[in-house]
Each structure stands twice: as C-alpha cells, then as structure tokens.
Structure 1
Amino acid sequence: MSAEERLAERRERLISAAYNLYSDPGFPETTIERLCAAARISNRAFYECFSGRNELMRAVHDRCVHETLQSVAKSIEQAPDTLATRVEAGISGYINFVTEDRRRARIMHLEVRRAGDCLVSSRQLAVTAFTAMIEMNVADLPEAVKANRHLLALGMIGAIQELLIEWVLADDPPSTESMISTAVHIFYRSFTG
C-alpha cells in the first residue's frame, strides 16, 4: 500500500469506529484513546487523519447525511409523479433509511446536538439540503401556500427530527409506520392548509 492508501484506510477505520462509539456510548463519552483502540491505530496515526474528535464527528455526520440524501432522492425519483406519492415516498424514505441502523438515527438526531458547536455548520448544511429537497418537491402547491414554503419545510424537518429523537430515546419507541403516518399527516396539514 502507498502512504496515501494507508492514510485512507486508517481514516476509514476511524470513521467506522466513531460510527459505533459516537452512537454508543455517545460523542461526549468517546475519547481519542478509545477511538484509536477500536480502530487499532496509534494516537499519532489518529492526528495524521483528523485534527481531533470534532473533525471526525463532522466526517461521520456528513457521511450519514450524504447517504440519507441519496436514499431519499432515490425514493422520490422512483415514486409516481404526484405530490401525494412524492411526499409519502420522501418521508417514508427518510424515516426508513435513518431507522434502518439505530446508530445512524442516533448520530443524525441526538449526538449531533450533544456534539455542540463543532457541528453547527455541518448540521445547517444538512438542514439546507433537506429543505431544498422538500421545496423542490412541493413546487406545484397552490400559490397561497408557496409564500411560506421555506418556513414550512423547516418546520417539517423539525417535526421529523423530534419524532426520530423520540424513537431513539423512548423505552417503547413508536413504530416506523406510526412515525411515517404522523409525519405525512403533519405535512398535509401544514402544506395544504
């Protein structure tokens, strides 16, 4: 392996270790030493890959968001071209993909907040991307609703985030089906007046 390939391989091992550890026990509880032990690399090698835990958390979060955006876009693309089917496909695509792996749900909706300031810009980029996706798919709403489309999209994102935080933290989590039907209901009540 070349030096560049070894570095890339170490980065992937660290991202994999962080994906596990940042979701359980969580970002605040995960030390660099623990990450290095899980990835089977030295502390020195860690700093060749990342400047610290915060940069590694951004890499993990950004990958989760990127994969989710791709999955949701594919779900919407495969749905029949009506507002109702695009909405349901987008919401169910998001909730199903995020809950498919509890670690992804926890990182994207709980640990992103626990990480604090280091993820503010990364989180905002994610919200912007999902807002744009919603706005693009509701472009054919009646004119009266279009004026509030951006704020409604932000509100929809907030509602889904709270549903997923409940799913991550609850002793008896709601089913994905009930979260999807609730989110679809909120969407229609919000976007169609």
Structure 2
Amino acid sequence: MGVEVTGRRYGGRSGEERSAERRAALLDAAFRLVAADDWHALRIEAICREAGLSKRYFYESFGDLEELSAALIGRLADELVAVTLAGAREARTPDRFVRAALEPFVAHLAEDPRRARVLFGAVPGDGAAARHRDEVLHRLIRTAVGLGLEVHGVPGGPVIDRGASFLVGGTSQLVLDWLGAEEPSPREDVVEQLAGLWQAVVDATFGPRGG
C-alpha cells in the first residue's frame, strides 16, 4: 500500500526523502514555467500540473507562491555563487582573481540560459519575485566585495561597495543580452570583454583611492 509511516521507508526511501523529491520537482516545474513564460505565468495550479503533483503536495513544501518564488531564486543564486566562489578561490592573487571569478560565472549561465532569464530577466515590479531578485543581486554584490577585499587585503568602504554594485548589475545585464542575441559571440570573447571592464573598475576601487 502507498502509505508512508513516520520513521519507516517506503520504496527504499524515507518519508523525508520523498518529501524532498516532491519539493525539488515543484521547484523544477516552476523554473521551467518562468523560463518559458516569465513570472506572470506562475500559478500554483500550473506548477502542480507541470510537476504532476496535487496541491496537497505543494502546501506540504511551501506556504504560498511567494515562498516558492523565494526558494527558486535562492536555489539558482546558491548555485551561481558556489561556482563563482570555487573559481575565484583557485586564484588567490589580484592579477588572476577577475578572470578566475568570471569564467565559471559566465559558463554556468551559458550552460543553461534559462538560469539567467529567471534570475536576471524582467520580473513584476512590485511582486515577490522582484523583491527576491533584488536580494539575490545584493547577495552577489556582497560576495564580490568580500572576495575582492580578501584577495586585495584592503578594508571596505563606500567606493568599493558602489564599484561592486556597478559590476554585478552591469555583468548580469550584459550576460542576459548576450544569451538573448540571435547570434551570440563566442563565450571566450564575452569573458575577455568582461574581464577588461572588471579590471578597470577593480583597479579604480581597490587602488589607492578606493574605499
């Protein structure tokens, strides 16, 4: 019988594991829907239909649509920050830092352009998705600032914060435009162009006048 008993396993998986799988399936379904039709198309009924699950399982995982939106954007941001940090930490010197961070950032988004569309594409201006997206951008900014300060060995300051904000916002839009182009230029060219822009801003913000 298809009954789960707390503390027991069903079909080789515990109730917690099956619940986690359903939650992941709902997030995957929401990701596909937003990538295809933007955030305006996101509805609980549509998500459940896409995931092949009932509303009961939606509310098992999320209190409402806003909670799911936060979880989806958070998951995408976690993945992007993780690959960027992993790349940047391979280069612990200022001369290699910029390219080491940018290459995995661009590669991760290019691997599945839907990631960039969902994270950085247009969202309703006063909705939950917009708020969560802003939080992600600020989180990426804090990550960029933290890495830069660590690598360059300098204290923080408002100039550095503004420089990081400029870089993160500009890079996100540039990558989004690049992935949406009819004939995108080679990925290596995009990284090269971004590296030049980043290096100019990094030199200005982390140099003698930065902070």
2:178 aligned with 1:167: yes
Whose radius of gyration is greater, 1 or 2?
2
- Match of 1:192, SS state, is helix
Equivalent AA in structure 1 for residue 166 of structure 2: G
Gaps of at least 5 residues in structure 2 are 1-9, 205-211
Q: Which has the higher contact order (CA 8 A, sep 6+)?
A: 1
Alignment of 1:93-132 (within 5 A): 93-111=104-122, 113-114=123-124, 116-132=126-142
TM-score (norm 1): 0.84
2:29–2:50: 8 Å Cα contact kept in structure 1? yes
What is the percentage of aligned positions where both structures have the same residue?
A: 24
Aligned to 1:54: 66
Does the C-alpha gap of structure 1 residues 31 and 122 become closer, same or farther in structure 2, counting only changes over 3 Å?
A: closer
Offset, 1:148: 1.2
1:21–1:35: 8 Å Cα contact kept in structure 2? yes
Once the two structures are superposed, what CA deviation does each residue of 1:135-170 show, in whole Å capped at 9, x if it has no partner? 233332889x96611100000001101112202432
Once the two structures are superposed, what CA deviation does each residue of 1:93-112 show, in whole Å capped at 9, x if it has no partner? 2111122112211111115x
Q: Report the number of matched residues.
A: 190
Offset, 1:3: 4.8
| Separation in structure 2 between the aligned mates of residue 146 and residue 84 of structure 1, nearest angstrom | 21
- Match of 2:40, SS state, is coil
Offset, 1:36: 1.0
Aligned to 1:43: 55
Equivalent AA in structure 2 for residue 99 of structure 1: A
1:131–1:157: 8 Å Cα contact kept in structure 2? yes
Superposed CA RMSD in Å reads 2.5
Once the two structures are superposed, what CA deviation does each residue of 1:69-104 show, in whole Å capped at 9, x if it has no partner? 11111101122x221211111111211112211221
